[in-house]
Amino acid sequence: MTNNVVINDVNDLVRYLFAKFGELSPLKVQKGLYFLYAYYGANYGQEEKDGVLEQDFNLPPQLFNAKFEAWTYGPVIREVYENFKQDEFTNNKMTLEQAEKIFNGHNEARLFVDDLFNQINKVSDFSLVDRSHEDDSWIEAYNRGQSSLIDNDKIISEYKEKYVR
């Protein structure tokens, strides 16, 4: 297990989401991954103030390693996009019991994912696209050129500043 992430492989998180929530559209998954990453990092990324950690959850600072690119319809992880095209998630399903193991014993992180993705799942795909287009980190990367990498630190900083504090 990597110490700085809860989930070692983002594709396993997608399989978990399918096991927990059923069939999902590629847009729902891509935007869901983005918002899960952003809000997790903003809420659980450990930050010291005056030598003291603000949270005591003892969770890794990132939910998963991310390489978000700025695409027309918002942030996308290319590897997940390619796996969708190859039916990876429908051909290699996990049971919920198998999928829960990806959290490596971090129950708080699993509860966070369940709660936030349940809310995300209720929003239409294109409302999620519109919402992701409001983020400065996506706008900045997209203005550099479609498929430009979005800076992960900027994503988390923006969410800490706008939504957590």
Residue 22 near residue 140, CB atoms below 8 Å = no
User: Which of 18, 3, 1, 6 is closest to 99 using CA atoms?
Assistant: 18
Tokens representing 157 are: 């900083």
What span, in angstroms and rounded, lies between the C-alpha atoms of 49 and 89? 41
118-122 mean pLDDT: 98
Residue 5 DSSP symbol:
B
Summary mean pLDDT of the chain? 92
Rg (the chain; Cα; Å): 15
**Torsion angle (degrees, nearest 10) of CA 5, 124, 163, 99:** -20
144: confidence class by pLDDT, cuts 50, 70, 90: very high
Number of Cβ atoms within 10 Å of the Cβ of 89: 20
Q: Which pLDDT value is given to residue 46? A: 60
Does the pLDDT at position 2 exceed 70? no
Collapsing DSSP to helix, strand or coil, 58 comes out as: coil
Q: What is the pTM of this model?
A: 0.92
What span, in angstroms and rounded, lies between the C-alpha atoms of 20 and 7? 16
Determine the residue type at 62.
Q
Q: Which pLDDT value is given to residue 52? A: 44
What span, in angstroms and rounded, lies between the C-alpha atoms of 72 and 49? 38
What span, in angstroms and rounded, lies between the C-alpha atoms of 136 and 155? 8
